[in-house]
Chain A
Amino acid sequence: MNAIPPAPSQRSAGRTENSTLPLAHLMLMLAGLALAAAPHVARAAWWMGVGMAAAFLWRLYIAWKDKALPSRLILVAMAAVALTGVFLTFRTFIGRDAGVTLLTMLLALKLMEMRAARDVFVLIFGGYFVALTNFFYSQTIMTGVLSLLTVLTLTSCLVSIQAPQRHIRANLRTAGILLAQAGPVMLLLFFLFPRVQGPLWGVPQDSASGVTGLSDSMSPGTLSRLGQSDAIAFRVKFSGAPPQRGQMYWRGPVFWTFDGVTWRPGALGLRGAPATVELLGEPIDYEVTLEAHDRQWIFGLEMPSRFPRNARMTPDFQLLSPLPIRTRLRYDMRSYASYRAATDNPDEQRAAVALPRLGNPRARGLAEEWRRNLPGDEAIMRQAIDYFRNGGFSYTLQPPLLDRNPVDEFLFDTKQGFCEHFASSFTYLMRAAGIPARVVTGYQGGEINPVDQYLEVRQADAHAWSEVWLKDRGWTRVDPTAVVSPVRVDGGLSAAVPQNALPLLMRENFSWLRSWRNNWNALTNQWNQWVLGYTPDRQRDLMSRLGVGQPDWGTLAHLLFWSVASVIGLTALWMLWRVRRKDPVQAIWEKFCARMARRGLPRQPDEGPLDYGSRLAASLPQQADGARTIATLYADLRYGPNHPKEQVALLRRLVADFQP
Chain B
Amino acid sequence: MSGSQRAGTARDRPALAPGATPAPGWRRALLPVLHRSQIYNFLHWSSRHRQPESGTIVLGQRRVYILPTRQGVAFAVSLLMMLIGSINYNLSLGYVLTFLLAGIGVVSILHAFRNLAHLALTGRRVDAVFANEIAWFQIDIENRETFDRFSIKLHGRDEPPANTVTCDIPAGRVTAVSVPVRATQRGWLQLDRVTVETRFPIGLARAWSYVKPDMRALVYPRPDESLLPMPRPRPDSGETVSMGTGTDDFFGLRDYQPSDSPRHVAWKSAARTEVPMTKVFSGRASSELWFDYSELPDNMDREARLSRMARWVILAARAGVRFGLRLPGSQVELGDGDAQRDRCLRELALFGVDIG
| Chain A residues with a Cβ under 8 A of chain B | 1-3, 5-6, 10-11, 13-17, 117-118, 121, 125, 128-129, 131-132, 135-136, 139, 143-144, 147, 151, 155, 158-159, 161-163, 165-166, 174-175, 178-179, 181-186, 189-190, 193, 196-204, 207, 327, 531-534, 568, 571-572, 575-576, 578, 605-606
Expressed in whole angstroms, the Cα–Cα distance for A2 and B340 within the complex equals: 14
- CB–CB A3/B220 < 8 A: yes
Interface residues on chain B, size class:
35 or more
Expressed in whole angstroms, the Cα–Cα distance for A259 and B330 within the complex equals: 122
Q: Say whether, besides A14-B177, A143-B93, A199-B89, A605 and B110 are in contact (CB < 8 Å).
A: no
- CB–CB B164/A17 < 8 A: yes
Contact residues of B between 47 and 97, Cβ < 8 Å to A: 61, 71, 74-75, 78, 82, 84-97
Q: What residue in chain A is nearest B220 (Cβ atoms)?
A: A3
For residue B251, CB closer than 8 A to chain A, the reply is no
Of B18-26, B30-38, B165-173, B238-246, the segment with at least 4 beta carbons within 8 Å of chain A is: B165-173
Q: Say whether, besides A15-B166, A125-B78, A186-B96, A575 and B114 are in contact (CB < 8 Å).
A: yes
For residue B117, CB closer than 8 A to chain A, the reply is yes
**A-side contacts of B223, CB under 8 Å:** 1
Q: What residue in chain B is nearest A166 (Cβ atoms)?
A: B150
Which listed residue, B71, B82, B151, B167, touches A121 by the CB 8 Å rule? B71
Q: What residue in chain A is nearest B202 (Cβ atoms)?
A: A158
Expressed in whole angstroms, the Cα–Cα distance for A409 and B168 within the complex equals: 84
- CB–CB B140/A605 < 8 A: yes
- CB–CB B122/A17 < 8 A: no
Chain B 182-215 interface mask (CB, 8 Å, partner A; 1/0): 0000000000000000111111100000000000
Of B100-108, B261-269, B294-302, the segment with at least 4 beta carbons within 8 Å of chain A is: B100-108
Q: Say whether, besides A121-B203, A132-B94, A576-B117, A11 and B314 are in contact (CB < 8 Å).
A: no
Which listed residue, A117, A121, A179, A534, touches B104 by the CB 8 Å rule? A179
- CB–CB B130/A3 < 8 A: yes
Closest 9 CB pairs of A and B: A182-B103, A14-B165, A185-B103, A189-B99, A158-B202, A186-B99, A186-B100, A200-B88, A182-B104
| Chain B residues with a Cβ under 8 A of chain A | 61, 71, 74-75, 78, 82, 84-104, 106-108, 110-111, 113-114, 117-118, 122, 127-130, 133-136, 138, 140, 142, 145, 150-151, 161-162, 164-168, 174-178, 198-204, 220, 223, 314, 317-318, 338, 341
**B-side contacts of A200, CB under 8 Å:** 84, 87-88
- CB–CB B168/A165 < 8 A: yes
- CB–CB B82/A132 < 8 A: yes
**B-side contacts of A11, CB under 8 Å:** 136, 165, 177-178
- CB–CB B200/A163 < 8 A: yes
- CB–CB A193/B99 < 8 A: yes
**Can you report 26 residue pairs joining A to B where beta carbons are below 8 Å apart?**
A3-B220, A5-B129, A5-B136, A16-B162, A17-B166, A128-B82, A132-B91, A132-B94, A132-B98, A135-B86, A136-B89, A144-B96, A158-B202, A162-B201, A163-B200, A165-B168, A178-B111, A178-B201, A185-B102, A186-B100, A186-B102, A190-B96, A198-B89, A576-B110, A605-B140, A605-B174
- CB–CB B103/A575 < 8 A: no
- CB–CB B99/A190 < 8 A: yes
**B-side contacts of A121, CB under 8 Å:** 71, 74, 203
**A-side contacts of B129, CB under 8 Å:** 3, 5
Nearest Cβ on chain A to B94's Cβ, whole angstroms:
5
Expressed in whole angstroms, the Cα–Cα distance for A116 and B91 within the complex equals: 33
- CB–CB A186/B103 < 8 A: yes
**B-side contacts of A196, CB under 8 Å:** 87
Given A11-B177, A144-B93, A162-B150, 15 extra CB contacts under 8 A: A14-B165, A14-B167, A16-B162, A121-B203, A125-B78, A132-B98, A135-B91, A139-B91, A159-B201, A162-B201, A166-B150, A197-B90, A198-B88, A202-B88, A575-B114
- CB–CB B104/A155 < 8 A: yes
Expressed in whole angstroms, the Cα–Cα distance for A478 and B106 within the complex equals: 63
Which listed residue, B93, B107, B113, B203, touches A147 by the CB 8 Å rule? B93
- CB–CB B201/A174 < 8 A: yes
**B-side contacts of A2, CB under 8 Å:** 314, 317-318, 338, 341
Expressed in whole angstroms, the Cα–Cα distance for A526 and B220 within the complex equals: 76
Which listed residue, B97, B176, B318, touches A132 by the CB 8 Å rule? B97
Q: What residue in chain A is nearest B115 (Cβ atoms)?
A: A162
Which listed residue, A5, A128, A183, touches B97 by the CB 8 Å rule? A128
Q: What residue in chain A is nearest B175 (Cβ atoms)?
A: A13
Q: What residue in chain A is nearest B112 (Cβ atoms)?
A: A162
Expressed in whole angstroms, the Cα–Cα distance for A136 and B94 within the complex equals: 9
Nearest Cβ on chain B to A426's Cβ, whole angstroms:
41
Nearest Cβ on chain A to B128's Cβ, whole angstroms:
8
Expressed in whole angstroms, the Cα–Cα distance for A531 and B95 within the complex equals: 9
Nearest Cβ on chain B to A409's Cβ, whole angstroms:
47
Expressed in whole angstroms, the Cα–Cα distance for A201 and B89 within the complex equals: 9
Expressed in whole angstroms, the Cα–Cα distance for A6 and B135 within the complex equals: 8
Expressed in whole angstroms, the Cα–Cα distance for A121 and B98 within the complex equals: 17
- CB–CB B106/A568 < 8 A: yes
**B-side contacts of A531, CB under 8 Å:** 92-93, 96
Expressed in whole angstroms, the Cα–Cα distance for A568 and B104 within the complex equals: 11
Expressed in whole angstroms, the Cα–Cα distance for A131 and B174 within the complex equals: 42
Q: What residue in chain B is nearest A122 (Cβ atoms)?
A: B74
User: Which of B82, B110, B113 gathers the greatest number of chain A CB atoms within 10 Å?
Assistant: B110
- CB–CB B106/A182 < 8 A: yes
**A-side contacts of B91, CB under 8 Å:** 132, 135-136, 139
- CB–CB A151/B200 < 8 A: no
Nearest Cβ on chain B to A247's Cβ, whole angstroms:
34
Expressed in whole angstroms, the Cα–Cα distance for A203 and B134 within the complex equals: 62
Nearest Cβ on chain A to B6's Cβ, whole angstroms:
14
Nearest Cβ on chain B to A588's Cβ, whole angstroms:
17
Q: Say whether, besides A10-B178, A165-B168, A572 and B145 are in contact (CB < 8 Å).
A: no
Nearest Cβ on chain A to B352's Cβ, whole angstroms:
21
**B-side contacts of A575, CB under 8 Å:** 110-111, 114
- CB–CB A125/B74 < 8 A: yes
**B-side contacts of A605, CB under 8 Å:** 122, 140, 142, 174
- CB–CB B87/A198 < 8 A: yes
**A-side contacts of B102, CB under 8 Å:** 182, 185-186, 189
**A-side contacts of B135, CB under 8 Å:** 5
- CB–CB B106/A203 < 8 A: no
Expressed in whole angstroms, the Cα–Cα distance for A348 and B202 within the complex equals: 69
Nearest Cβ on chain A to B137's Cβ, whole angstroms:
10
Q: What residue in chain B is nearest A159 (Cβ atoms)?
A: B201
**B-side contacts of A118, CB under 8 Å:** 71
User: Which of A10, A132, A203, A207 gathers the greatest number of chain B CB atoms within 10 Å?
Assistant: A132
Expressed in whole angstroms, the Cα–Cα distance for A189 and B201 within the complex equals: 23
